[in-house]
Amino acid sequence: MTAENPPTTETSDVAAIAGIIATVAVFAISQGLSYPLLSFILQRQGISPALIGVSAAMTPLGFIVSSFVIPAMSRQFGSGRLALACAASAALLLVAIAAWQDVWAWFPLRFLLGFAANPLYVISETWMIAMAPPAKRGRLMGIYASIVSAGFAIGPLTLALVGTEGWPPFLVGVAAFALCGAILIAVLPRMPEMQDEKQPTSVAGFVLVAPLLIFAVFTAAAFEQGLLALFSVYGEAHGSSEQRIATLLTVFIAGNVALQIPLGALAERLGATRVMLFCAVFAGVGCALLPVLLPTLLIWPVAFVWGAVAFGIYTMSLIQLGEKFSGSMLMTGNAAFALAWGTGGIAGPPLTGTVMDLIGMQGLPLALALLCGALAAGILAAIARRRATA
């Protein structure tokens, strides 16, 4: 099966699509587990918070660097072989991290873990988009986004069951990557190869081809990570307890998980561009209302929807990627998305924190609202250009 003729019809293999979703969900669980686990271990070793933070940044840095080479590696080795190799490499790297618990050794190991894990995520996501029937792409990508988000949320919860000491938590992560490999072996015969030498495959080139989509992904990542990193500071400054802040963040994430499928269904009816505009506007309005609603009971339902629309920007980006691109450009686009997400995730917290330092606590909602406003303006400009040339 080739990229020029992906199974994007109503007869698409449901089992294969389910297998892809299961692969990425298991991957998300292992990733969601590793971040807090390694931070707990370093904290017990007396490592400073600053150094723990820099250590944690090595994994997304590996994501960013690998994004530039995923299309070429996929062409060279084949998408399926590369995905299997990445699953095996990630499992072995987790074993090395468990065996060699030294903060300085973890710097290169965590970078390599991100470098190895990212192609597995990008390739699986590309297969998912390519195989989703156009008439059902919105709902399927909504299901996909919800399950992946749930996987990242479940990861930390497993630590409550297995603890954070010794080999057990690491073995859970290793088993997750091994399960990824087993699922991949089962579904590989039905997967499309993203080969199309006639199309450009440069990640930098794709950024120039679809700058609005790239900025949308950057916005979604910067918004989510900026809020998760600094909402506790904002909430405490406004008199909220740690328990209330943690619960609000949980509601935010729950909305993210629960409402991606309805948003995907809405995209099938109204178009992903319009729904992305709605998500950007509502996320910005939520920022504007945050100072007023935070002390009231209305903050709970608003936080639930807020989480959904914030991540919904990314879901709509995936849907549009599948609508506009195919073949190797689809693979390149997903690699560019990974680059944008990693960049946004790293840049979001410090940029938001800088605005808070400059103007005070209201810098948090202001910085996030400006991001959403810039995205909404870009979408409106793109719609106007399309109408002008129609």
Q: Is residue 9 predicted with pLDDT exceeding 50?
A: no
Mean pLDDT of 235-263: 87
Residues 173 and 91: their CA atoms lie apart, in Å, by: 7
Most confident of 179-193, 274-288, 340-354: 274-288
Neighbours of 329 (CB within 10 A): 23
pLDDT in tens, 168-214: 999 998 998 898 888 888 888 888 766 655 555 688 889 899 999 99
- Of 36-40, 256-260, 360-364, minimum mean pLDDT range: 36-40
Percentage with pLDDT > 90 across the chain: 42
Going from the N-terminus, what domains does the chain have, and what CATH number goes with each? Answer: 14-190 (1.20.1250.20), 203-389 (1.20.1250.20)
pLDDT at 313: 96
Mean pLDDT of 58-70: 90
pLDDT in tens, 301-312: 999 999 899 999
pLDDT at 229: 77
Mean pLDDT of 329-349: 90
pLDDT at 23: 83
Predicted structure pTM score: 0.86
pLDDT at 2: 37
H/E/C letters for each residue in the chain?
CECCCCCCCCCCCHHHHHHHHHHHHHHHHHHHHHHHHHHHHHHHCCCCHHHHHHHHCHHHHHHHHHHCCHHHHHHHHCHHHHHHHHHHHHHHHHHHHHHCCCHHHHHHHHHHHHHHHHHHHHHHHHHHHHHCCHHHHHHHHHHHHHHHHHHHHHHHHHHHHHCCCCCHHHHHHHHHHHHHHHHHHHHHHHCCECCCCCCCCCHHHHHHHCHHHHHHHHHHHHHHHHHHHHHHHHHHHCCCCHHHHHHHHHHHHHHHHHCHHHHHHHHHHHCHHHHHHHHHHHHHHHHHHHHHHCCCCCHHHHHHHHHHHHHHHHHHHHHHHHHHCCHHHHHHHHHHHHHHHHHHHHHHHHHHHHHHHHHCCCHHHHHHHHHHHHHHHHHHHHHHHHHHHC
The pLDDT confidence band at residue 249, using thresholds 50, 70 and 90, is confident
Is the model more confident about 273 or about 135?
Answer: 273
pLDDT at 342: 87
pLDDT at 8: 42
pLDDT at 196: 57
Comparing CA positions, the residue from 242, 218, 215, 220 lying closest to residue 231 is 242
Residues 296 and 292: their CA atoms lie apart, in Å, by: 8
The pLDDT confidence band at residue 225, using thresholds 50, 70 and 90, is confident
Most confident of 29-38, 159-168, 223-232, 265-274: 265-274
pLDDT in tens, 228-238: 778 888 888 88
Q: Is residue 39 predicted with pLDDT exceeding 90?
A: no
The pLDDT confidence band at residue 1, using thresholds 50, 70 and 90, is very low
pLDDT at 12: 46
